[in-house]
Structure formats: structure tokens, C-alpha cells
Structure 1
Amino acid sequence: MSPTALNANQCLETWHTAIQAALEVSLGRAQGNTRLQSAMRHAVLNGGKRMRPLLSLATAHALGHDALTAMQPALAVELVHAYSLVHDDLPAMDDDDLRRGQPTVHIAFDEATAILAGDALQTLAFEVLSAAPHAADTRIEMVRLLASASGIAGMCGGQMMDLEGTGQAQAHTVQGLETLHAMKTGALIRAAVLMGALSANASSAQIAMLTAFADQLGLAFQIKDDILDIESDSVTLGKTAGKDVEQGKTTYPALIGMQASKARLGALENEMHALLRAFGEAADPLRLLVARVVERTH
């Protein structure tokens, strides 16, 4: 590993530790029913790569700012992500028993508790974000970004499209599938990057480049997910492998084949690195996150 890569890895490890500690604090402040608190903690603190909050911090760093200035929006996006997984795993949705190698919230507790835990995590996210140490107009724009990424024009809308296509493996064209995943997966990744950029007072030109980068990363993440669903196993993934094929969902390998899916992933990786050149060595943690997405095994 080169010194630059080593430094980037050290940055990500340090930030990961800081994120974990800050999530503990945020969840500790969420006072109320003990069972609901336990379900929320199970959803958030039971492992996880923390890619989205790391993206927020790494983006602020790439723009020459202290990464931790983006901590509040980083926590908010992770709490929204955690809530979405709790609801995504429910019997009415993907009906999964495993998440990060552990029982999903509705299995560890019950369905009603899982629904409420997801609801409470979503509202906690916006409570945390509203307390971010930024100017009021910046906080409002962050709230708008995260809300839009989470709602009908983003994650929820994409999930609805996914549900409507279940059982019809060829329900979408490639363009339609990319639209679905830009909403279901990519919107939250874009929000993580852009909130990090707002934390660092990014220029409009920087915002434009980072938006393109984030959109490519979201697509790369989903293509890799589709590949792993076929090539990996449940133990390695920490969730049920082969679920997309079993449910008849449209995936990139199903539409264009495995070889073309891997080629598309490689092309996206090259495009992301080209966009990050403008930010110099300060973007090395972002480059390492790209590698983690493209090369991950789970």
C-alpha cells in the first residue's frame, strides 16, 4: 500500500470511529420506550460499513475543510439509511431474515416494533440535521436535500418502482433500471456527498462535479450489488444471497449479462477517478471509497 493510500485509509478509519461514537451519542439522547430504543440501536449499531457518512466527511476533506464539519449531516444520512433497511427487510417488502449477518429488526423484535423503530430513526435523522453547526440557510438546504432524496422523488419512489417490477425479471429497460436505482440507491448517496460539499462551502462548479461523481457512484454501487447477489453467498454478504433472482427482480446481469455488467462497472470507476482529479490528493479518501464500492465482497 502506497503512503498516500495508507494516509487515506487512516483517515477513513479515524472517521469511522468518530461516526460510531457520534451515532452512540445520538441514539443515547433518543429517550423513550426501552424496547423501541433497543430496536433502534440494533438497526444502527449492529455493524455496517458507514459508506454514506464517510462520503460526507470525505467530501468535506476533499474541499480542504475539516472532515468533522460534516458530522451532523453524515449522521443524518446514516440514520435515514438505517431506517430504510429496517423497512426494506419487512415481510411486506423484501422479507429478509438477515442484515449484516444478524437477525433483521422484525426478527429480533417484531414487525410492529420494526416499523416504529424505522419511523423513529427517520425523525431522529432530521432532529440531528436541524442541529448542525452551519448557517441557517445551509441547514435548510441540507434538510431539503435529505428529504427529497428520501421521499417519492428518491428512495421511496425507487422502492415502489422496484416492488412493481418484482416477479417480472424483464420489467425494465436498462434506462428504466438506471432511473430506478438512481432513486432507490443513488439519491441517498448523492445527498451524502452534496451535504458534505455544503458543509465545506463548495462552489457551484465543485457541486456540479461532485453531483456527477455521486450519481456514478450510486450506479456503481447497485451494479456491484447485483453482481454480488449472484456470485456471493449469504455468509459473506451478511444477508440472503440470490434474493433478487428468486423474486424475479430486474437486475443488470439479467438485462445485459454478467460480463457487460462488470465492464460497465469498470467504466464507471474510470469516470469517477477522472472527476476526482480536480480535487488533487485531498480526494484520496474519496478514491479509496470508490475502490471499496467496486472491489467489495459484501
Structure 2
Amino acid sequence: MTKDDQMAFETILVEHAAAIEAQLRQILDGRALAGEIARPERLMAAMRHGVLNGGKRLRPFLVMESAALFSADGEAAWRVATALECMHCYSLIHDDLPAMDDDDLRRGQPTVHKAFDEATAILAGDALLTLAFDILADEATVLPPDRKVALMLALSRAAGVGGMVGGQMLDLEAERNRPDEAGIIRLQAMKTGALIRFACEAGAIVAGAPAQDRERLAEFGSAIGLAFQLADDLLDLTANASQMGKATGKDAAAGKATLVALHGATWARSQLQGLVDQAHALLEPYGERAALLKEAAKFVAVRSN
């Protein structure tokens, strides 16, 4: 990816991020919805702090672009993308807690438990997790019932005990018992990769695409999910806190098992190129329609924060 290509792609990503931010602001309105009794202001403020704080919004972008491959309904895709970002932000709020990764900064701002308190941060994460499924189920997400059910099932599996949450458990266990290479790959595929895989598959689900397309997009998501984590581990080793908007060097200081720690930075960069090539090959059947998703795969591998 040339510098000009990267800048052009980042401009598109920023435009998508602004659109999803507008959706999130609307969703996080303080007015109670039908069936709700009240929305406590402190809880809503903590949720907004954890969500409306910038970020690349890569996962919503992947939902939108995977949906665009099949000319899916754009409004429905935006709703699914918003639900996924609520799920992702919940995971970040909980991941930052003292009992987990214990981070004071996220995207250059105090983490939710620092800006508010631990109990409020836990509840804000809980509320965002629940809100993700509220968005998918709401009648405003105009999709056939079978597609809604498929989305909720796929997101549950990606986010739950066999996906992101299970991966976080494996990550905590890895601090005591260092996993081998296969264990690291499984951990990362669950903790980081599962939601990225869902993001790519979700567009095909929204569109009602055939099973083979769902699987191809899911495989694409798996490839870039692994690339995302590999690049993240490289950045933790080489970048500084101002670049990343959070503390760096923590993995090495904690003796965490990562593929970069196991094989070194040179090996990791070679692997990243291989994963980008794999991702591109999976998108070949879609021709020029997949151009932005191909750029996303490159961006994941070369990003600087």
C-alpha cells in the first residue's frame, strides 16, 4: 500500500466513522424507549464516554462494505454496523478494567472506570452489550425475521463463551500458563478475530447471500482478524503511547505470549503480507466490487495506531 493509497483509504474510513458516530449518538439518546422505564443520566454519560470517543470504526466499515458486495439494503446494514460497534465498545470498557488489562487511557482519553468509577464502567459495558441485541431486534432494523435471527445467533457466538469472552478468559490464563503457538492463535482468533470475522460475514447475512458467500466472507474476516492482532502486537512493541492513544509495551512487561514475542518482528511482518495475500485471494470472485475490502486488508497490516 503506497502512502497515497493509504491516505485515500483513511479518508474513506473517516467518512464512514463519522456516519456511524452519528448513528451512535442517536441510539444513545437519553430518552426512554417504549418498554423502558428510564435511562439514568450517569449511566448514559458513561456509555457515551466509552462509545463517542473517536476510533477508526473498522468493524462497522467491514459490515457496510461486505453488505455492499451484494447490494444489500444500506439502512439495515447501518443498523447492524451500529449494533456491532456497541458490542465492540462494551468489550473495550470491560477490557480496560483493573481486574482485566488495567488501562488508564483509551483513544487518548481516560478509560470509563477512570472518568467515572468501576461499578459504573461495568454497568455501561453491560448496557452496551444488551443494546447491541436491542438494535438488531428492533423493528427499525428492517430485515426478514430469519436474517435477524441469523445475525443475533452469529453475533452471540462471536461475542460469547466460544468467541470474544472465551478468548479474554484464555488471555487471563495465559498470564499464568504460557500457551504454545497453536494456543496463541486460538486465543487471538477468539478475543480479537471473532468480532472481525462476524463483521465481514454480517454483510452477507443482511443481503441473504448464499451460504458459500457467507463462508468466504467469514474466512476473509478470519484472515484480517489475525492480521489485525499481529499488527497490534507489533505496534505494542514499536509504537509509543501518543501514537496508540493507550499504554504500550504492556505485553512485553507482563511477559504475555504473543506471536511477535515468539517469532520476532521480521517474521511477523512477513506473516502479515501472507495474510493480506490470503485475504485478497478470497475476494477475487467479487472483482472490483471488493476493491475497498482489499484496501481494508492492506490497511489492517500497515496501520500505525
Per the shorter chain, which TM-score range?
Answer: over 0.9
Matched, 1:99 2:121: no
C-alpha change, 1:12 and 1:253, in structure 2 (3 Å) is closer
Structure possessing the higher relative contact order (Cα contacts under 8 Å, 6 or more residues apart): 1
Find the partner of 1:243 among 250, 258, 265.
250
CA–CA distance in structure 2, aligned partners of residues 121 and 217 of structure 1: 25
**Letter in structure 2 aligned against 1:145:** A
Matched residue, 1:79: 86
Q: Which residue identity does 2:69 align to in structure 1?
A: A
**Residue 236 of structure 2 aligns with which residue?**
229
The question of 1:163 aligning with 2:164 is answered no
1:43 has 2:43 as partner: no
Is the partner of 1:48 in helix, strand or coil?
coil
- SS of 2:28's partner is helix
Q: Could you tell which deviates more after superposition, 134-143 or 57-66?
A: 57-66
The letter of the residue matching 1:52 is R
State how 1:141-152 maps to structure 2 within 5 Å: 141-152=150-161
8 A contact 1:43–1:86 mirrored in 2: yes
- Does the C-alpha gap of structure 1 residues 47 and 5 become closer, same or farther in structure 2, counting only changes over 3 Å? closer
Task: Please give the alpha-carbon distance, in whole angstroms, between the structure 1 residues aligned to 2:186 and 2:63.
Answer: 23
Q: TM-score, normalised by structure 1?
A: 0.94
* Counterpart residue type for residue 140 of structure 1: V
1:24-43 pair list within 5 angstroms: 24-28=25-29, 31=32, 32-43=39-50
**Counterpart among 116, 125, 128 of residue 109 in structure 1:** 116
- For 2:275, which of 260, 268, 280 is the aligned residue? 268
In the alignment, structure 1 residue 256 sits paired with structure 2 residue 263: yes
Q: Do residues 138 (structure 1) and 110 (structure 2) align?
A: no
* 1:5-56 Cα shifts (integer Å, max 9, x gaps): 9986665444332211111111115641111111000000011110001100
Q: Which region of structure 1 is more displaced relative to structure 2, 82-91 or 130-139?
A: 130-139
Pairing 1:18–2:25 present: no
How far the C-alpha of 1:66 sits from its partner, in A, is: 4.7
Instruction: Give the 3 Å change call, closer, same or farther, for CA 104–13 of structure 1 in structure 2.
Output: closer
**Native 8 Å contact 1:12 1:285 kept in 2:** no
Could you tell me which residue of structure 2 aligns to residue 128 of structure 1? 135
CA distance in 2, matches of 1:167, 1:291: 34
Instruction: Structure 1: state its 5+ residue gaps.
Output: none
**Residues 287 and 66 of structure 1, relative CA distance in 2, 3 Å threshold:** farther
Shift of 1:75: 0.8
Q: Which residue of 1 aligns with 2:201?
A: 194
Contact between 1:64 and 1:282, CA under 8 Å: does it hold in 2?
Answer: no
- Taking structure 2 as the reference length, what is the TM-score of the superposition? 0.92
Equivalent residue, structure 2, for 1:182: 189
Structure-2 separation of matches of 1:122 and 1:190: 18
Which shifted more, 200-209 or 7-16? 7-16
State how far apart, in whole Å, the 1-side matches of 2:102 and 2:4 are.
Answer: 44
The answer for the alignment partner of 1:118 in structure 2 is 125
Q: Which amino acid aligns with 1:201?
A: G
3-state SS in 2 of match to 1:119: helix
Distance in 2 separating the partners of 1:142 and 1:212:
17
Q: 1:280 to 1:2 in 2, by over 3 A?
A: farther
Relative to structure 1, the CA distance from residue 113 to residue 6 in structure 2 (aligned partners, 3 Å threshold; closer, same or farther) is closer
CA distance in 2, matches of 1:233, 1:12: 23
- 1:30–1:119 CA distance, 2 compared to 1 (3 A): farther
Are the equivalent residues in 1 in contact too, given 2:30–2:41 (CA < 8 A)?
no
Alpha-carbon shift at residue 253 of structure 1 (Å): 1.3
Letter in 1 for 2:150: E
Report the Cα distance in structure 1 between the residues aligned to 2:262 and 2:85, rounded to whole angstroms: 31
Identity %: 45
The verdict on how the C-alpha distance between 1:198 and 1:35 changes in structure 2, with shifts beyond 3 A counting, is same
Residue deviations 1:52-93, cap 9 Å, x none? 011000101122335443111111111010000000000000
Change (3 A) 1:105 1:3: closer
| Total equivalences in the alignment | 296
SS of equivalent residue, structure 1 residue 172: coil
Shift of 1:288: 2.0
Contact in 1 for aligned 2:224/2:279 (Cα 8 Å): yes
